Chain A
């Protein structure tokens, strides 16, 4: 080793140079940050974006909780259930979940429990969960439930601040605690929500879309094809273009007179068919 030689210590000095560069960079950029060097002018991004982006020089801390890094759309934390918006015209607060059980099966740590709903009159299963539990202590945030749900009814949340003082009472989330409006999903994941809408064919729940399409078909037949076909399309489109945070969903197609919900047998058949179609759709989507 070059102990005592002329060059000894140069390597250390070189390294110190790098440290010094970081030091200066950090302070220079920090002063600039304070002096509003990165203004919010168009094209330059926000101050925060520049500081926490690839162009940044020096070391910056995100000063949690005074500032937080907003999470990207695909971020996944403990799932939540989508229910229809509470100001929805037809089915406010209606579950999107049909209690098909796929999420419970595909959950790696098996933290989802679903009680399948039954129709009290017929005793047959109905497509709504009677109860829905997620043990968030066990949930490993893998996102499979959201990925494989054929009805887009369970989604991964962005709210990661779930710490609480008592795990024994608070950490099994029930249906009430899990349910969030569809509007919320459109707010936190605008582009994903649009992708899913395109795959479903509308902003509504798959069942509603299918029922409406069927009703239109039936109505069209009854009216001897007098109605122009452009009408239903025009109703879907504005919804697609609507801003993600748009408060109210767009008006529904007119309710057909022979409401399928009245006849339970027919409703069941329709539901079955709708589920089948949805599965097909989901398969197509995954391709």
Chain B
């Protein structure tokens, strides 16, 4: 259906680019409802909110935008005083985004829910409700998702101030030249910085969140169910898996309704690691955000950096004096990102096997391999995990000549390697060998097969509809990889295959990660000669500025993170000269959105499989909860 109708607009206007043609098609088809976004630096269309559902249906069915990548809200308080929901939809056949928006007043904000068109919007609409207070008409489960039920206010609104609020934007005035040092918690803990609703009585505070979670789940044993149907009497039981459970890879919680041992419903509960990363991001200057992105998916900080750098570079490229990153910078970026992918898959596979009961031996072997890559990161970027390596227009520093340490503390043992030799040996020998060994180690293992084959099946249509990304999507037979579908950096000149598997179960996700590691090793082998060829070339184009003025507009930068599609939606607004701080900074976190489909995947499986299915999605809570 999708393929037949997708070429309808192209027949009409062939000389326009894909997105322009789409915009024209939509504005002609719905003349009063859809308007092209005319604001400076903005693109796509603005859809009248009463007709959003209708137009969304057309966008999906007639235009073929079957994959909704991101849905997020922006508060334009003080600019146009409305809330705006921004959607980015893609075709799984590849190509650029269709960016469509719907606006609503700030008071009684309400929009139609798109959950029937793209079920993957579920958590993202809940997030928009939670953080911005937009009600989604037709959403079946519109609860807070990151904050707790009963939380006062919607924290991402511009007029909401956090505790210890100091100023709207950094740098804060108190730091220099006055330098009035103050520990944050000394700022009067329960004083003027914390706001309570007028009618609250602190002594009678009641946590409603637990009641809200369990309502409708059927807590405890349902007596009537006991005698129905089956010959084996089973109790219906609600079990909390997590938040403090080693198999949840962090503080993640699943409320599982069990019938005997079979999962009937599963509801993910998150937000235990929520720190409102995006609000912090709006206080920060553009550059300040770079080290904060490290802390999202803390296994793959390099690729987090890359996505953010791409988004801001998109904005900067509209300015007059922008110079794109040099070729060497791009080469180094790809080197780092692909090494990160291998690091992540080592970790993901190691801990998936852990969840399956191969307790820590495989994980430890892989962690030892990972350490070799982290040694290189540490020598180049200065930190093993919090790399903070990329800058707008280049990278922090060139690769050092030697991976070299200096004894400083007592008992320090030094090492000294030639970096290029180290990389050469790492990429050509060590990594391929470890991948082969991993493959040999557990792929044929009968216990692993019995536990994983046919478990957690995700059909391709559902994977696309639920906006699943990365290995989860590709193991279901959808060959969608941002590096190929919408190439960035120098990926279009590199030779690699998009790994894809077709069974959509845990076993295939495991195999797919091994395939991807092989492909990454292949890319790295092509990067090495490029690295040698560009030796000594500049790694930075133009001046390195610490507070660049970023031209007004919006940008959506996305990369194929090891865990899936990582997108940054950045809006630069509010200052004629070009703001120093982002107006809106949103992270489309693959770990978060991949969880949308978890409940569907677990339905009908045994409770012990839930752990394995969660492990096969590969989440990191730093990114899920933001």
Residues of B within 8 A of A1 (CB): 446, 449-450, 453
Partner of B179, one of A70, A116, A138, A156: A116
Q: Mark A93-137, 1 if CB is under 8 A from B, else 0.
A: 000000101101111101011111000000001000011110100
- A241: CB under 8 A from chain B? no
- Which one of B177, B180, B379, B422 has the greatest number of beta carbons of chain A within 10 Å? B177
Residues of B within 8 A of A99 (CB): 176-177
Interface size class of A (residues with CB under 8 A): 35 or more
Closest CB in chain A relative to B443 CB, distance in Å: 8
Q: Which of B168-209 contact A (CB under 8 A)?
A: 170-172, 174-181, 183-184
A73 touches B406 (CB 8 A): yes
A104 touches B171 (CB 8 A): yes
- Which one of A65, A99, A102, A106 has the greatest number of beta carbons of chain B within 10 Å? A106
Residues of A within 8 A of B429 (CB): 54
Partner of B411, one of A49, A67, A75, A116: A67
- B401: CB under 8 A from chain A? yes
B416 touches A45 (CB 8 A): yes
Residues of A within 8 A of B291 (CB): 108, 140, 142, 144
Which of B49-57, B241-249, B381-389 sits within the interface? Answer: B381-389
A172 touches B181 (CB 8 A): yes
- B317: CB under 8 A from chain A? no
- B90: CB under 8 A from chain A? no
Residues of A within 8 A of B415 (CB): 45-46, 48-49, 52-53, 69-70
- B318: CB under 8 A from chain A? no
B408 touches A143 (CB 8 A): no
Closest CB in chain B relative to A22 CB, distance in Å: 7
Residues of B within 8 A of A104 (CB): 171, 175-176, 179
Partner of B177, one of A67, A74, A102, A114: A114
- A190: CB under 8 A from chain B? yes
A69 touches B405 (CB 8 A): yes
Residues of B within 8 A of A112 (CB): 175-176
- B447: CB under 8 A from chain A? yes
With the chains together, A19 CA to B364 CA distance in Å? Answer: 11
B401 touches A191 (CB 8 A): yes
Q: Whose C-beta in chain A lies nearest to the C-beta of B361?
A: A19
Closest CB in chain A relative to B546 CB, distance in Å: 5
A283 touches B543 (CB 8 A): yes
Closest CB in chain B relative to A18 CB, distance in Å: 4
Q: A15-B442, A286-B543 known; A22 and B400 CB under 8 Å?
A: no
B538 touches A70 (CB 8 A): no
Q: Mark A273-287, 1 if CB is under 8 A from B, else 0.
A: 000000000010011
- B404: CB under 8 A from chain A? yes
Q: Whose C-beta in chain B lies nearest to the C-beta of A71?
A: B405
Partner of B175, one of A46, A59, A114, A141: A114
Q: Which of B300-339 contact A (CB under 8 A)?
A: none
Q: Whose C-beta in chain A lies nearest to the C-beta of B182?
A: A113
- A198: CB under 8 A from chain B? no
Partner of A105, one of B175, B425, B437: B175
Partner of B422, one of A12, A54, A116, A191: A54
Residues of A within 8 A of B412 (CB): 68-70
Q: A70-B414, A115-B178, A135-B183 known; A159 and B379 CB under 8 Å?
A: no
Residues of A within 8 A of B284 (CB): 108
Q: A22-B365, A73-B405, A147-B396 known; A66 and B172 CB under 8 Å?
A: no
Q: Whose C-beta in chain B lies nearest to the C-beta of A108?
A: B288
Closest CB in chain A relative to B4 CB, distance in Å: 40
- A189: CB under 8 A from chain B? yes
Closest CB in chain A relative to B256 CB, distance in Å: 27
A156 touches B382 (CB 8 A): yes
- B440: CB under 8 A from chain A? yes
Residues of A within 8 A of B174 (CB): 113
Partner of B440, one of A18, A53, A115: A18
B408 touches A141 (CB 8 A): no
Residues of A within 8 A of B521 (CB): none
Closest CB in chain B relative to A65 CB, distance in Å: 6
Which of A3-11, A205-213, A231-239, A254-262 sits within the interface? Answer: A3-11
- B464: CB under 8 A from chain A? no
With the chains together, A45 CA to B421 CA distance in Å? Answer: 14
List 3 tightest A-B contacts by C-beta distance, closest first: A11-B444, A116-B177, A142-B291
24 A-B pairs in the complex with CB atoms less than 8 angstroms apart = A10-B444, A15-B440, A19-B361, A46-B414, A54-B422, A67-B411, A68-B413, A71-B405, A72-B379, A73-B405, A73-B406, A74-B378, A106-B547, A110-B172, A110-B175, A113-B180, A113-B181, A114-B179, A115-B178, A130-B179, A133-B179, A135-B181, A144-B546, A148-B546
